[in-house]
Amino acid sequence: MAELQQTLTLGELSDALGGECIGDAGFVIRGVKPLAVAGADDLSFVTNPKYVAAAKTTQAGALLIAKDSGLESAGLNAGLIVVDDPHLALARVLELGFPESNRETGVHPTAIVGKGCTMGADTSVGPYCVVGDDVVLGDRVRLGARVNVGDGCVLGADSAIYPGVVLYDRVVMGQRCVVHSGAVIGSDGFGYASATGLPTKIRQVGRVVLGDDVEVGANSAIDRAMLEETVIGSGTKIDNLVQVGHNVVVGEGCLLCGQAGIAGSAVLGDRVVLAGQAGVSGHLEVGSGVQVAAKSAVLQTTTPGSIVAGIPARPIRDWQRQDVATKRLPELMRRVRQLERAQEVKDVDSDQDADSG
Protein backbone atom coordinates (compact mmCIF):
# COMPACT_ATOMS: atom_id res chain seq x y z
CA MET A 1 0.00 0.00 0.00
CA ALA A 2 2.83 2.43 0.80
CA GLU A 3 5.18 1.38 -2.00
CA LEU A 4 6.25 4.46 -3.93
CA GLN A 5 4.88 4.80 -7.44
CA GLN A 6 8.09 6.64 -8.28
CA THR A 7 11.29 5.50 -6.53
CA LEU A 8 13.70 8.18 -5.31
CA THR A 9 17.20 8.20 -3.92
CA LEU A 10 18.00 9.70 -0.56
CA GLY A 11 19.98 12.47 -2.26
CA GLU A 12 17.27 13.26 -4.79
CA LEU A 13 14.64 13.48 -2.07
CA SER A 14 16.86 15.59 0.16
CA ASP A 15 17.47 18.06 -2.68
CA ALA A 16 13.75 18.26 -3.46
CA LEU A 17 12.99 19.00 0.19
CA GLY A 18 15.83 21.48 0.63
CA GLY A 19 17.16 19.32 3.45
CA GLU A 20 20.54 18.02 4.58
CA CYS A 21 21.41 14.48 3.49
CA ILE A 22 23.36 12.37 5.98
CA GLY A 23 24.40 8.94 4.74
CA ASP A 24 24.43 7.23 1.35
CA ALA A 25 22.92 9.71 -1.13
CA GLY A 26 22.44 6.89 -3.63
CA PHE A 27 20.27 4.80 -1.28
CA VAL A 28 17.04 3.94 -3.16
CA ILE A 29 13.80 4.56 -1.26
CA ARG A 30 11.03 2.21 -2.34
CA GLY A 31 8.34 2.92 0.25
CA VAL A 32 7.11 5.27 2.98
CA LYS A 33 5.92 3.67 6.21
CA PRO A 34 5.49 4.45 9.93
CA LEU A 35 8.39 3.73 12.28
CA ALA A 36 6.94 0.50 13.69
CA VAL A 37 6.51 -1.27 10.34
CA ALA A 38 9.13 0.33 8.09
CA GLY A 39 11.73 -1.96 6.54
CA ALA A 40 15.20 -1.65 5.09
CA ASP A 41 13.99 -0.12 1.79
CA ASP A 42 11.57 2.34 3.40
CA LEU A 43 11.64 5.95 4.46
CA SER A 44 10.04 6.68 7.82
CA PHE A 45 9.57 9.98 9.64
CA VAL A 46 9.66 11.65 13.05
CA THR A 47 7.08 14.43 13.00
CA ASN A 48 6.63 14.64 16.78
CA PRO A 49 9.23 14.59 19.58
CA LYS A 50 7.39 11.77 21.34
CA TYR A 51 8.48 9.39 18.56
CA VAL A 52 12.21 10.01 18.99
CA ALA A 53 12.62 6.87 21.14
CA ALA A 54 10.84 4.74 18.51
CA ALA A 55 13.13 6.17 15.83
CA LYS A 56 16.13 4.67 17.62
CA THR A 57 14.75 1.13 17.24
CA THR A 58 13.08 1.33 13.82
CA GLN A 59 14.22 -0.90 10.96
CA ALA A 60 13.69 1.89 8.40
CA GLY A 61 16.51 2.41 5.92
CA ALA A 62 16.03 6.20 5.96
CA LEU A 63 14.47 8.76 8.26
CA LEU A 64 13.01 12.22 7.81
CA ILE A 65 13.85 14.21 10.95
CA ALA A 66 13.87 17.74 12.36
CA LYS A 67 17.04 19.74 12.89
CA ASP A 68 16.44 19.97 16.63
CA SER A 69 15.59 16.29 17.18
CA GLY A 70 19.11 15.27 18.23
CA LEU A 71 18.85 12.14 16.08
CA GLU A 72 21.72 13.20 13.79
CA SER A 73 24.17 12.22 16.52
CA ALA A 74 22.29 9.18 17.81
CA GLY A 75 24.32 6.63 15.80
CA LEU A 76 21.30 5.36 13.82
CA ASN A 77 21.74 2.69 11.14
CA ALA A 78 19.71 4.73 8.68
CA GLY A 79 20.22 7.49 6.18
CA LEU A 80 18.86 10.83 7.30
CA ILE A 81 17.16 13.79 5.69
CA VAL A 82 17.27 16.73 8.09
CA VAL A 83 14.68 19.48 7.55
CA ASP A 84 13.12 22.36 9.46
CA ASP A 85 9.60 20.91 9.49
CA PRO A 86 9.29 17.11 8.98
CA HIS A 87 5.49 17.23 8.84
CA LEU A 88 5.52 19.70 5.96
CA ALA A 89 8.33 17.79 4.28
CA LEU A 90 6.36 14.53 4.55
CA ALA A 91 3.52 16.16 2.63
CA ARG A 92 5.98 16.96 -0.16
CA VAL A 93 7.38 13.39 -0.08
CA LEU A 94 3.90 11.97 -0.63
CA GLU A 95 3.31 14.36 -3.53
CA LEU A 96 6.55 13.28 -5.18
CA GLY A 97 6.23 9.57 -4.49
CA PHE A 98 2.52 9.18 -5.18
CA PRO A 99 1.73 11.51 -8.11
CA GLU A 100 -1.84 11.93 -9.27
CA SER A 101 -2.77 9.37 -11.91
CA ASN A 102 -3.36 10.72 -15.40
CA ARG A 103 -7.03 10.96 -16.25
CA GLU A 104 -8.65 10.99 -19.64
CA THR A 105 -9.73 14.46 -20.68
CA GLY A 106 -12.93 15.42 -22.44
CA VAL A 107 -16.61 14.75 -21.81
CA HIS A 108 -17.75 11.18 -21.19
CA PRO A 109 -20.48 10.02 -23.63
CA THR A 110 -22.97 9.53 -20.78
CA ALA A 111 -22.53 13.08 -19.41
CA ILE A 112 -25.06 15.83 -20.09
CA VAL A 113 -23.71 19.35 -20.69
CA GLY A 114 -26.04 22.35 -20.86
CA LYS A 115 -26.07 25.36 -23.16
CA GLY A 116 -23.46 28.08 -23.15
CA CYS A 117 -20.83 26.19 -21.16
CA THR A 118 -17.16 27.11 -21.37
CA MET A 119 -14.51 24.47 -20.82
CA GLY A 120 -10.81 25.14 -20.43
CA ALA A 121 -7.94 23.01 -21.64
CA ASP A 122 -7.70 19.39 -20.51
CA THR A 123 -10.92 19.34 -18.53
CA SER A 124 -12.47 16.00 -17.62
CA VAL A 125 -16.21 15.41 -17.22
CA GLY A 126 -16.87 11.91 -15.94
CA PRO A 127 -19.62 9.35 -16.49
CA TYR A 128 -23.22 10.45 -15.85
CA CYS A 129 -22.30 13.99 -14.86
CA VAL A 130 -24.92 16.69 -15.33
CA VAL A 131 -23.56 20.15 -16.07
CA GLY A 132 -26.08 23.00 -16.24
CA ASP A 133 -26.27 26.00 -18.52
CA ASP A 134 -23.62 28.75 -18.63
CA VAL A 135 -21.13 26.83 -16.50
CA VAL A 136 -17.44 27.74 -16.66
CA LEU A 137 -14.88 24.99 -16.06
CA GLY A 138 -11.29 26.21 -15.84
CA ASP A 139 -8.25 24.44 -17.23
CA ARG A 140 -7.69 20.89 -15.99
CA VAL A 141 -10.86 20.79 -13.88
CA ARG A 142 -11.88 17.21 -13.10
CA LEU A 143 -15.48 16.14 -12.47
CA GLY A 144 -15.82 12.59 -11.16
CA ALA A 145 -18.75 10.30 -11.96
CA ARG A 146 -22.29 11.54 -11.26
CA VAL A 147 -21.30 15.07 -10.29
CA ASN A 148 -24.12 17.60 -10.65
CA VAL A 149 -23.09 21.17 -11.45
CA GLY A 150 -25.89 23.73 -11.44
CA ASP A 151 -26.49 26.63 -13.81
CA GLY A 152 -24.00 29.48 -13.75
CA CYS A 153 -21.34 27.74 -11.66
CA VAL A 154 -17.70 28.76 -12.09
CA LEU A 155 -14.92 26.29 -11.21
CA GLY A 156 -11.34 27.53 -11.17
CA ALA A 157 -8.39 25.83 -12.81
CA ASP A 158 -7.04 22.55 -11.40
CA SER A 159 -10.05 21.95 -9.16
CA ALA A 160 -11.12 18.37 -8.49
CA ILE A 161 -14.73 17.41 -7.78
CA TYR A 162 -15.09 13.81 -6.62
CA PRO A 163 -17.99 11.45 -7.48
CA GLY A 164 -21.44 12.24 -6.17
CA VAL A 165 -20.90 15.93 -5.36
CA VAL A 166 -23.78 18.36 -5.90
CA LEU A 167 -23.13 22.02 -6.68
CA TYR A 168 -26.30 24.08 -6.77
CA ASP A 169 -26.72 27.06 -9.12
CA ARG A 170 -24.18 29.91 -9.14
CA VAL A 171 -21.52 28.31 -6.91
CA VAL A 172 -18.16 29.97 -7.54
CA MET A 173 -14.87 28.38 -6.54
CA GLY A 174 -11.30 29.45 -7.07
CA GLN A 175 -8.31 27.50 -8.31
CA ARG A 176 -7.09 24.16 -6.95
CA CYS A 177 -10.19 23.48 -4.88
CA VAL A 178 -11.05 19.92 -3.86
CA VAL A 179 -14.57 18.75 -3.03
CA HIS A 180 -14.99 15.18 -1.79
CA SER A 181 -17.82 12.74 -2.43
CA GLY A 182 -21.25 13.45 -1.03
CA ALA A 183 -20.64 17.14 -0.33
CA VAL A 184 -23.43 19.57 -1.18
CA ILE A 185 -22.56 23.19 -1.84
CA GLY A 186 -25.18 25.86 -2.37
CA SER A 187 -28.27 24.18 -0.93
CA ASP A 188 -30.94 26.35 0.70
CA GLY A 189 -30.03 28.15 3.88
CA PHE A 190 -32.17 27.27 6.90
CA GLY A 191 -34.29 30.43 6.87
CA TYR A 192 -37.90 30.63 8.03
CA ALA A 193 -40.33 33.22 9.37
CA SER A 194 -42.60 32.06 12.19
CA ALA A 195 -44.94 34.99 12.82
CA THR A 196 -47.98 32.92 11.82
CA GLY A 197 -47.08 30.09 14.19
CA LEU A 198 -45.94 27.73 11.43
CA PRO A 199 -42.53 28.16 9.76
CA THR A 200 -42.78 29.97 6.43
CA LYS A 201 -39.85 29.43 4.09
CA ILE A 202 -37.77 32.47 3.12
CA ARG A 203 -36.34 32.02 -0.36
CA GLN A 204 -32.57 31.76 -0.41
CA VAL A 205 -31.40 33.51 -3.57
CA GLY A 206 -27.72 34.19 -2.82
CA ARG A 207 -24.73 32.05 -3.68
CA VAL A 208 -21.61 30.35 -2.27
CA VAL A 209 -18.10 31.59 -3.06
CA LEU A 210 -14.98 29.53 -2.32
CA GLY A 211 -11.50 31.02 -2.58
CA ASP A 212 -8.39 29.29 -3.92
CA ASP A 213 -7.08 26.04 -2.40
CA VAL A 214 -10.22 25.28 -0.41
CA GLU A 215 -10.91 21.62 0.43
CA VAL A 216 -14.37 20.36 1.40
CA GLY A 217 -14.67 16.94 3.05
CA ALA A 218 -17.08 14.13 2.29
CA ASN A 219 -20.75 14.70 3.16
CA SER A 220 -20.24 18.28 4.27
CA ALA A 221 -22.78 20.99 3.44
CA ILE A 222 -22.32 24.70 2.72
CA ASP A 223 -25.59 26.61 2.39
CA ARG A 224 -26.06 29.49 0.00
CA ALA A 225 -26.79 32.95 1.35
CA MET A 226 -30.28 34.37 1.57
CA LEU A 227 -29.38 37.44 -0.54
CA GLU A 228 -25.63 37.83 -0.93
CA GLU A 229 -22.80 35.32 -0.38
CA THR A 230 -21.70 32.54 1.91
CA VAL A 231 -17.90 32.84 1.72
CA ILE A 232 -15.11 30.33 2.40
CA GLY A 233 -11.70 32.02 2.37
CA SER A 234 -8.68 30.81 0.45
CA GLY A 235 -6.70 27.97 1.98
CA THR A 236 -9.46 26.88 4.36
CA LYS A 237 -9.81 23.13 4.87
CA ILE A 238 -13.16 21.60 5.83
CA ASP A 239 -13.34 18.07 7.23
CA ASN A 240 -16.12 15.50 6.68
CA LEU A 241 -19.65 16.07 7.99
CA VAL A 242 -19.28 19.80 8.59
CA GLN A 243 -22.25 22.19 8.35
CA VAL A 244 -21.74 25.81 7.26
CA GLY A 245 -24.94 27.85 7.44
CA HIS A 246 -26.20 30.60 5.17
CA ASN A 247 -24.49 34.01 5.06
CA VAL A 248 -21.50 32.65 7.01
CA VAL A 249 -18.11 34.18 6.24
CA VAL A 250 -15.09 31.97 6.96
CA GLY A 251 -11.67 33.60 6.71
CA GLU A 252 -8.49 32.32 5.12
CA GLY A 253 -6.53 29.32 6.33
CA CYS A 254 -9.18 28.02 8.74
CA LEU A 255 -9.50 24.38 9.84
CA LEU A 256 -13.03 23.09 10.43
CA CYS A 257 -12.82 19.57 11.87
CA GLY A 258 -15.36 16.75 11.61
CA GLN A 259 -18.96 17.46 12.64
CA ALA A 260 -18.30 21.12 13.39
CA GLY A 261 -21.25 23.41 12.74
CA ILE A 262 -21.52 27.14 12.05
CA ALA A 263 -24.91 28.79 12.30
CA GLY A 264 -26.13 31.44 9.90
CA SER A 265 -24.43 34.84 9.55
CA ALA A 266 -21.51 33.99 11.85
CA VAL A 267 -18.14 35.45 10.85
CA LEU A 268 -14.87 33.59 11.39
CA GLY A 269 -11.57 35.41 11.05
CA ASP A 270 -8.44 33.98 9.47
CA ARG A 271 -6.73 30.80 10.78
CA VAL A 272 -9.59 29.85 13.10
CA VAL A 273 -9.61 26.21 14.24
CA LEU A 274 -12.87 24.47 15.16
CA ALA A 275 -12.10 21.05 16.64
CA GLY A 276 -14.44 18.08 16.21
CA GLN A 277 -18.12 18.72 17.00
CA ALA A 278 -17.47 22.34 17.95
CA GLY A 279 -20.33 24.72 17.25
CA VAL A 280 -20.61 28.45 16.58
CA SER A 281 -23.86 30.28 17.17
CA GLY A 282 -25.28 32.61 14.54
CA HIS A 283 -24.69 36.35 14.12
CA LEU A 284 -21.45 36.55 16.10
CA GLU A 285 -17.74 36.94 15.36
CA VAL A 286 -14.92 34.52 16.07
CA GLY A 287 -11.67 36.48 15.95
CA SER A 288 -8.66 35.54 13.85
CA GLY A 289 -6.46 32.83 15.30
CA VAL A 290 -9.09 31.54 17.74
CA GLN A 291 -8.95 27.84 18.61
CA VAL A 292 -12.16 26.15 19.78
CA ALA A 293 -11.79 22.84 21.64
CA ALA A 294 -13.77 19.73 20.68
CA LYS A 295 -17.47 19.65 21.59
CA SER A 296 -17.42 23.31 22.63
CA ALA A 297 -20.14 25.84 21.82
CA VAL A 298 -19.22 29.42 20.99
CA LEU A 299 -22.19 31.51 22.09
CA GLN A 300 -20.59 34.95 22.14
CA THR A 301 -18.00 36.93 20.20
CA THR A 302 -14.46 35.76 20.97
CA THR A 303 -11.23 37.72 21.24
CA PRO A 304 -8.67 37.15 18.44
CA GLY A 305 -6.00 34.63 19.32
CA SER A 306 -7.85 33.10 22.26
CA ILE A 307 -8.23 29.38 23.01
CA VAL A 308 -11.70 28.50 24.29
CA ALA A 309 -13.46 25.38 25.54
CA GLY A 310 -16.71 24.23 27.11
CA ILE A 311 -20.42 25.03 26.84
CA PRO A 312 -20.61 27.95 26.67
CA ALA A 313 -17.07 28.33 25.39
CA ARG A 314 -14.81 30.39 27.64
CA PRO A 315 -11.03 30.82 28.01
CA ILE A 316 -9.56 27.36 28.29
CA ARG A 317 -7.83 28.03 31.62
CA ASP A 318 -11.17 28.99 33.17
CA TRP A 319 -12.71 25.83 31.74
CA GLN A 320 -9.85 23.71 33.10
CA ARG A 321 -10.22 25.21 36.58
CA GLN A 322 -13.94 24.53 36.54
CA ASP A 323 -13.33 20.97 35.37
CA VAL A 324 -10.91 20.37 38.24
CA ALA A 325 -13.43 21.84 40.70
CA THR A 326 -16.20 19.64 39.29
CA LYS A 327 -14.10 16.51 39.80
CA ARG A 328 -13.62 17.52 43.45
CA LEU A 329 -17.35 17.93 44.12
CA PRO A 330 -17.97 14.40 45.53
CA GLU A 331 -15.15 14.84 48.05
CA LEU A 332 -16.31 18.36 48.94
CA MET A 333 -19.87 17.11 49.46
CA ARG A 334 -18.58 14.32 51.72
CA ARG A 335 -16.66 16.83 53.82
CA VAL A 336 -19.68 19.14 54.06
CA ARG A 337 -21.80 16.23 55.34
CA GLN A 338 -19.13 15.43 57.96
CA LEU A 339 -19.07 19.06 59.09
CA GLU A 340 -22.86 19.15 59.26
CA ARG A 341 -22.93 16.00 61.40
CA ALA A 342 -20.19 17.39 63.67
CA GLN A 343 -22.16 20.61 64.05
CA GLU A 344 -25.31 18.66 64.89
CA VAL A 345 -23.40 16.85 67.69
CA LYS A 346 -22.14 20.17 69.02
CA ASP A 347 -25.65 21.61 68.99
CA VAL A 348 -26.98 18.61 70.92
CA ASP A 349 -24.18 18.92 73.49
CA SER A 350 -24.87 22.62 73.88
CA ASP A 351 -28.58 21.99 74.43
CA GLN A 352 -27.80 19.34 77.09
CA ASP A 353 -25.38 21.71 78.88
CA ALA A 354 -28.03 24.41 78.88
CA ASP A 355 -30.63 22.04 80.34
CA SER A 356 -28.28 20.84 83.10
CA GLY A 357 -27.45 24.41 84.01
- CA dist 262 and 117 (Å) reads 33
87, 108, 180, 246: which one is catalytic? 246
Closest residue by Cα to residue 76 from 90, 89, 57, 50: 57
Nearest to 88 by CA among 31, 19, 28: 19
CA quadruple 194, 195, 198, 200: dihedral sign: negative
- Per-position DSSP letters for 82-135, written without gaps between them: EES-HHHHHHHHHHHHSPPPP---EE-TT-EE-TT-EE-TT-EE-TT-EE-TT-
Q: What's the rounded Cα separation, in Å, for the pair 203 and 115?
A: 26
Asked if 246 is an active-site residue, the reply is yes
d(CA 241, CA 277): 10
Beta carbons of 27 and 9 less than 8 angstroms apart: yes
Residues belonging to the active site = 246
